[in-house]
Structure 1
Amino acid sequence: MLEKSYPYYLANKAQTSKEMMDVTDKYTGKRATRVAVPDAAAVEKAIAAAVKATVPMREFKPWARQAVLQHCADRFEARREELAYALCVEAGKPIKDSDGEVTRLIETFRIAAEEAVRINGETINLEIAKRLDGYHGYTKRVPLGPVSFITPFNFPLNLVAHKVAPAIAAGCPFVLKPAERTPIGSLIIGEILAETDLPKGAFSILNLDGKHASPLVEDPRFKLLSFTGSQIGWDLKTKAGHKKVTLELGGNAACIVDADQASKLDKVVERIIFGAFYQSGQSCISVQRIYVHESIYDELKRKLVNATKKLKSGDPKKKDTFIGPMIDEVAATRLHDWIEEARKAGAKLLCGGKRTGAMLEATLMENVPETAKVNRMEVFGPFALLAPFKTFDDVVSMVNDSDYGLQAGIFTDSLNHAMRAWNELDQGGVIVNDIPSFRVDNMPYGGAKYSGIGREGVKYAIDDMSELRLMVIRDL
């Protein structure tokens, strides 16, 4: 069971409030718990506290930052079942996948603990001409100062971890606004952070709705805004002023299955099924477009449809459930309408397509028009389309014909095709012999085009949350 209510966190301390916000069980639709909502004065206090904590956090030694991160990872492990259950309830994520996200939460904090003590600079040889004899250059990285974070509902533990853990490792105080529909995981993280000896004001976690979160975007005292979510991120960037901005804004992930995969289709299908329908497709790198060489198209389609029809939908608290609810009925209705729009425009429904409340069946379509929303937009739900291709040049053009460019996958035995995919696909990452939905928490992660700017992955986020400072020494 969840707690009856949860506080917010202001300058490292739990706070209650007269105003409360309901958090629903995404499967039953009933209220599961309530969270305290801060007022405008609390938001100002959080920002002021982060500013005041700038120097103490900068002076908080790397070994001490590492100890905080290690403590958090240990406590997450001790509270694994509680975190997984809370995630299952608040996000509707099947319990086995919820447990997997707790594992990634722990791994992300452990990676950050390792990185905290190896944020290094370099020695630069400046004696590149006779006139520069006796000059020596040195660099180091210094924390930016206060940073603000806005996170989405779909990975409310690990996507929070990818902002919070690097901030601690880098020495930056932060203010976090978790997703309104899934704040509980963030608040448990806050409870554990409050057990540590982080300097006062090092963190605040505020349960705000979008309209009251503008100071996290616009206040010039923040030196960086890191936002993960929808295309509204571009609007936030225009309001952010002079601060650095990193955006992870989703994708329309394509997966290529090359002609030489005929003997491996069972393995390929297994991975595509996971990539397309894991967590009801509510992932920025969910497999949405599947491009298959024409010589194996019919066979892969048959296997994929059969496997999709066998997926178990229902209560995410049951261990054998693969497809749980979407985040709410509005989201499910939106995608169902897009599917119907494509069907009426000539697309063929291969399986699925039915909706009951927030539950939408795992859906496959083919012959989808190029202009259909399910082809052009990010579906963010349990849907994928199939299309055949003739040549590798054709499929490169098909993948790149998108406003998004987060990650792509390619199943191939051809080193030439793998290298061409890496060189020619306009994506933040290319995954060879696996799905675009693959992510390890120490790798650079981010996209091109509408998919955003900047990179996450602990080391790369630390780089964004710090700046390079140069010192030049001249011999006298």
Structure 2
Amino acid sequence: MAHNLKVYQAFDHEVIAEISTDDANALECKLNIAARAFADRDGWLPAHSRMAILRRVSELLSENRDRFAVMIAREGGKPLTDAINEVTRGIDGLINAADKLRHFGGSEIPMGLTAASMNRWAFTTKEPIGVVAAISAFNHPLNLIIHQIAPAVAVGCPVIIKPATTTPISCIEIVKLFWEAGLDKRWCQTFITEDSALAERLATDHRIAFMSFIGSAKVGWYLKSKLPPGTRCALEHGGAAPVIIDRSANIDAIVGTIVKGGYYHAGQVCVSVQRLYVHNDILSNFTDALAATVANLRVGDPTLKETEVGPLILPREADRVSSWIREATDAGAKQFGGGRLSETTLMPSVLLEPPVDAKVSRLEVFGPLTCVYGYGDVDEAIRIANSLPYAFQASVFTSDIAIALKAAQHLDAAAVLVNDHTAFRTDWMPFAGRRQSGYGVGGIPWTMEDMANNKMVVFNGVS
């Protein structure tokens, strides 16, 4: 049965909206609408129409930049400056999807290479894979939605998008812009529910051809195990991103970058800097510089322009991170900073040498915390960095090309960043987690490839 979903402001946990949810009947209706739209091949939108819609949505989003930024700051808790950047990325992402269509096609398959293949001409074309079910996360409530909707619209797949229940407003509003831009509602529908069983039904329905999931590894791998035969998927989970800091690194030059990568959106980023392996020769100086920089971060209401670190998404997440920090300090880790500003807002922390078996050393923290560990040999640092069952993005800071090359070759990660933090990405680059961190490749152009099928056509010249 449908009911109203209360949406809370992340910082002070006040109700900012009540949104009607969808029930099982609504899900069935939406699945049928999407499936019928896809089945009508004569009704598929031509590429030029899809490009025009994406470009128009980009224009509309640009006109509504400030409104969306405040929306992101309120429901998601992302500081306003970063929320503005998220909207800017979304604007560019829509253009990115439209531009990809200029080069999104098949290729010729050589014939005549054997006697049996003479007098034939073969080539491939791209077709949409089918109905897409997209389940999204709270931490980038606009840009993640765009990463799931824009590729589907670009390729020509009907998409049903389920946002996180903590941050549904940005999703609802961007879908409205798609409709305003001329996209028939059949091709892009929202599904709002707090019922995990209904979300599972959406993801695993036989009418779904592609399931896009952004969220926890536990849920993502479970849903993948339940997909019917033939359904493809992409999973984006998280990690505990390692950073190796060589003794040749310039501490003053890099500490600000590392702090940005570790405390951006209060650490609620799947590739947030978490584990810092620092050469013993510079360990003390680096830790002091890191702790001092973190202590100067401006923490508070994310709707204020001066705020650099805002709240966690829910009070229970602040409770969890606090308990993990307490476990580590009870076991001997030294803490710099810390404390609690509000029910959802933690003051940023640094932990020095937490035990290897502490939760902060083994699991994704997803909070305003980085952990520092000393090392003497880079091979040992790489071994420890690779020791967890997660592998997403990793970094090395060094002025020594040999160390940079060794780290790039030996770190187990889908991306190794040299002299940059692990949270760096652009929306047109491949973005993928290895092992438990994910499945498939994200990034708008790469998702478009995942959402398309190649069809080969062969002409026999003999009539």
Q: Name the counterpart of 1:229.
A: 215
Indicate yes or no: 2:20 matched with 1:36: yes
Unmatched tracts of structure 1, length 5 or more: 1-16
- CA drift of 1:454 comes to 0.5
- CA drift of 1:416 comes to 3.2
Match of 2:90 among 82, 102, 105: 105
Indicate yes or no: 2:277 matched with 1:309: no
**Cα pair 1:336 1:355 within 8 Å, conserved:** no
- CA drift of 1:429 comes to 1.1
- Relative to structure 2, which stretch is displaced further, 385-394 or 332-341? 385-394
**Cα pair 1:63 1:117 within 8 Å, conserved:** no
Alpha-carbon distance between aligned partners in 2 of 1:27 and 1:259, rounded to the nearest angstrom:
39
Secondary structure in 2 matching 1:223: strand
Map 1:13-28 to 2 at 5 A. 19-28=3-12
Match of 1:123 among 108, 116, 124: 108
**Which string of whole-angstrom CA distances, capped at 9 and with x for unpartnered residues, describes residues 350-389 of structure 1?**
3325464211111101111111100100000101100122
Secondary structure in 2 matching 1:325: coil
Alpha-carbon distance between aligned partners in 2 of 1:432 and 1:353, rounded to the nearest angstrom:
33
**Cα pair 1:148 1:174 within 8 Å, conserved:** yes
Matched length: 458
**Cα pair 1:410 1:430 within 8 Å, conserved:** yes
Map 1:285-300 to 2 at 5 A. 285-300=271-286
Q: Name the counterpart of 2:147.
A: 162
**Cα gap change, 1:366/1:41 in structure 2, threshold over 3 Å: closer, same or farther?**
same
- CA drift of 1:265 comes to 1.5
**Cα pair 2:93 2:444 within 8 Å, conserved:** yes
Alpha-carbon distance between aligned partners in 1 of 2:82 and 2:183, rounded to the nearest angstrom:
31
- CA drift of 1:471 comes to 2.2
Secondary structure in 2 matching 1:140: strand
Secondary structure in 2 matching 1:23: strand
Match of 1:178 among 163, 175, 178: 163
TM norm structure 1: 0.93
- CA drift of 1:466 comes to 0.6
Q: Name the counterpart of 1:257.
A: 245
Q: Name the counterpart of 1:280.
A: 266
Alpha-carbon distance between aligned partners in 2 of 1:399 and 1:135, rounded to the nearest angstrom:
53
- The RMSD of aligned alpha carbons is 1.6
Match of 2:62 among 69, 72, 77: 77
**Cα gap change, 1:420/1:202 in structure 2, threshold over 3 Å: closer, same or farther?**
same
**Cα gap change, 1:88/1:200 in structure 2, threshold over 3 Å: closer, same or farther?**
closer
Q: Name the counterpart of 2:436.
A: 450
Secondary structure in 2 matching 1:434: coil
Percent identity, aligned pairs only?
Answer: 33
Map 1:180-259 to 2 at 5 A. 180-209=165-194, 210-231=196-217, 232-242=219-229, 243-259=231-247
**Cα pair 2:318 2:346 within 8 Å, conserved:** yes
Secondary structure in 1 matching 2:12: coil
Match of 1:427 among 378, 389, 413: 413
Alpha-carbon distance between aligned partners in 1 of 2:406 and 2:117, rounded to the nearest angstrom:
43
**Cα gap change, 1:402/1:353 in structure 2, threshold over 3 Å: closer, same or farther?**
farther
**Cα gap change, 1:346/1:57 in structure 2, threshold over 3 Å: closer, same or farther?**
farther
**Cα gap change, 1:58/1:170 in structure 2, threshold over 3 Å: closer, same or farther?**
farther
Alpha-carbon distance between aligned partners in 2 of 1:258 and 1:136, rounded to the nearest angstrom:
56
TM norm structure 2: 0.95
Secondary structure in 2 matching 1:418: helix
**Cα pair 1:428 1:446 within 8 Å, conserved:** yes
Which letter does structure 2 place at the counterpart of 1:195? E
Q: Name the counterpart of 2:401.
A: 415
Secondary structure in 1 matching 2:180: coil
Which letter does structure 2 place at the counterpart of 1:316? P
- CA drift of 1:128 comes to 3.4
Q: Name the counterpart of 1:387.
A: 373
**Cα pair 1:339 1:353 within 8 Å, conserved:** no
- CA drift of 1:56 comes to 5.2
**Which string of whole-angstrom CA distances, capped at 9 and with x for unpartnered residues, describes residues 373-429 of structure 1?**
001000001011001222221121121011111101111233333333232222111
Indicate yes or no: 2:383 matched with 1:397: yes
Alpha-carbon distance between aligned partners in 2 of 1:245 and 1:428, rounded to the nearest angstrom:
18
Map 1:340-351 to 2 at 5 A. 340-351=326-337
**Cα gap change, 1:390/1:18 in structure 2, threshold over 3 Å: closer, same or farther?**
closer
- Relative to structure 2, which stretch is displaced further, 38-47 or 118-127? 118-127
Alpha-carbon distance between aligned partners in 2 of 1:434 and 1:334, rounded to the nearest angstrom:
29
